[in-house]
């Protein structure tokens, strides 16, 4: 094979390897984005749960405060 053809074949093989590498990179990047979306969804779900816990706490705290005031009025 003449040197020019050999160089062209070598360049072509190198280009193909780079393309495979780019495809692999894009596939991995897609996986990373999917994982980020999954984690964002989990954070949103946890935030909603925390908000529900906070609301329940505030409601129970108000009940306890009402009972405390009622007990104080009974003891006066």
pLDDT in tens, 14-69: 877 877 777 788 888 999 999 999 999 999 999 999 999 999 999 999 999 999 99
Annotate 11-21 with b (16+ C-beta within 10 A) or e (fewer).
eeeeeeeeeee
pLDDT for position 25: 82
The CA R_g of the chain, rounded to the nearest whole Å, is: 33
H or E stretch including 62?
helix 3-75
Strand, coil or helix: 2? coil
Distance CA 35, CA 30 (A): 9
Does the pTM of the predicted model rise above 0.75?
no
């Amino acid at each position: 094979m003449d040197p020019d053809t050999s160089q062209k074949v070598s360049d072509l093989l190198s280009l193909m390897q780079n393309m495979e590498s780019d495809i692999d990179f894009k596939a991995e990047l897609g996986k990373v984005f999917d994982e980020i979306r999954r984690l964002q969804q989990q954070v949103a779900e946890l935030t909603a749960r925390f908000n529900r816990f906070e609301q329940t706490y505030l409601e129970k705290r108000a009940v306890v405060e009402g009972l405390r005031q009622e007990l104080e009025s009974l003891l006066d």
